[in-house]
Amino acid sequence: MELIIDIDKIKDSSKREWLIRTLKLMGIAFKTSEKPQTLDEYNQDLEDGNAEIEKGDYITAADLKREASKW
């Protein structure tokens, strides 16, 4: 079975990144049809990510594994 995700349809960059990290963490194989980011988009993603971390808006890998085991 193959999972194909159209990343470009997920407009919220934090949700895109969360989905990709979760799939990787869970060992689920996937393909994306993602278009390359521009330098400005990349820099904005970095700034957004740093702001989330500073606000404490993140989940650790250990917490995610515990949560996933309840599914």
One DSSP character per residue, 20-49 reads HHHHHHTT---EE-PPPPPHHHHHHHHHHH
CB within 8 Å of 68: residues ≥ 6 apart = 26
Average confidence (pLDDT) over 56-70: 88
Whether the full predicted model's pTM is greater than 0.85, yes or no, is no
Per-domain residue ranges of the chain: 4-69
Q: In the prediction, which pLDDT does 43 show? A: 93
Nearest to 4 by CA among 15, 19, 18: 19
Is pLDDT of 54 > 90? yes
Query: Which strand (E) or helix (H) includes residue 13?
Result: helix 13-25
Residue written as tokens 């521009």?
A: 38
